[in-house]
Amino acid sequence: MKKNNQFFENSFKTLDEVSRPTDEQKEQILKMVLKEVAVASKVEPRNNRSPLKRIVTDYPWRFAFGAAFLQSSVCTLIFGTDYIRFVMSILGG
């Protein structure tokens, strides 16, 4: 029975050794991966949008806060403190 076990163990060892890449294959794989990374890193995304559209779509919260600030500033300058009292009365203050 010992011989049969050795036969199977040797067969599995051989299969395991054959399935592993050699050092040359490892070097080739590494070179291929490095080339792909170099090519991918040189690609720049194309943005045909205007700078304002890009800012609005990339950072919508900044645009919303900016618009709210501008609106409240302009209305306060036009109507004075009555505008602030009006907004606070609407909000329940």
Number of domains in the chain: 1
Rounded to an integer, what distance in angstroms lies between the CA atom of residue 74 and that of residue 80? 10
Comparing C-alpha atoms, which of 45, 64, 44, 46 is closest to residue 55? 64
For residue 16, being part of any structural domain is answered with no
On whether the CB atoms of residues 30 and 24 are closer than 8 A, the answer is no
Q: Which domain holds residue 60?
A: 51-91
Residue 4 or 65, more confident = 65
For residue 55, being part of any structural domain is answered with yes
pLDDT band of residue 2 (cuts 50, 70, 90) is low
For residue 24, being part of any structural domain is answered with no
Rounded to an integer, what distance in angstroms lies between the CA atom of residue 31 and that of residue 27? 6
The structure's pTM equals 0.40
Comparing C-alpha atoms, which of 41, 62, 44 is closest to residue 52? 62
For residue 34, being part of any structural domain is answered with no
What are 26-79's pLDDT values in tens digits? 899 889 988 888 887 776 666 677 888 888 888 899 989 999 999 889 988 988
